[in-house]
């Protein structure tokens, strides 16, 4: 199965990258754009099938390594096959 982890800066944490990108978007004329946040995605293949055990392992992985709970939120998607 294919796993995609989405990591984004917490809404309460200042995101200088998002602010700079928002500024660039506005300077290109996209005045209606707001609240830009820049995060990252991590994709990987994993053997096994979607199950509560696998999801709990993924939480462990996301909380410890792939994201820092002090400044980031995460969610993941699992694609079977």
Partner 1 sequence: MKVAILQFPGSNCDWDAEHAVQDVLNVPAKRVWHKSGLPAETEAVIVPGGFSFGDYLRCGAIARFSPIMLGLKEFVEKGGQVLGICNGFQILCEAGLLPGALVRNDCMEFRCLNQSLRVENSNDRFNQSKFGSAISLPIAHGEGNYRADETVLAELEANAQVLLRYEGNPNGSINDIAGIRNQAGNVYGMMPHPERAVEPHHPCQDGLPVLDAFLEPIRKNNPIELSAS
- Contact residues: partner 1, CB under 8 A: 9, 12-17, 19-20, 64-66, 68, 70-71
Residue 35 CA: distances (Å) to CA of 14, 38, 43, 58 = 11, 10, 25, 28
User: CB 1 → partner 1: shortest distance, Å?
Assistant: 22
User: CB 66 → partner 1: shortest distance, Å?
Assistant: 7
User: CB 49 → partner 1: shortest distance, Å?
Assistant: 27
For 51, the 3-state DSSP assignment is: coil
């Amino acid at each position: 199965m294919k796993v995609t982890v989405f990591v984004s800066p917490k809404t309460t944490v200042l995101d200088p990258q998002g602010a700079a990108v928002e500024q660039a978007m506005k300077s290109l004329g996209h005045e209606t754009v707001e609240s830009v946040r820049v995060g990252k995605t991590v994709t990987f293949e994993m053997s096994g099938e979607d199950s509560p055990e696998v999801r709990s392992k993924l939480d462990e992985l996301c909380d410890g390594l792939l994201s820092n709970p002090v400044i980031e939120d995460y969610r993941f998607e699992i694609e079977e096959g």
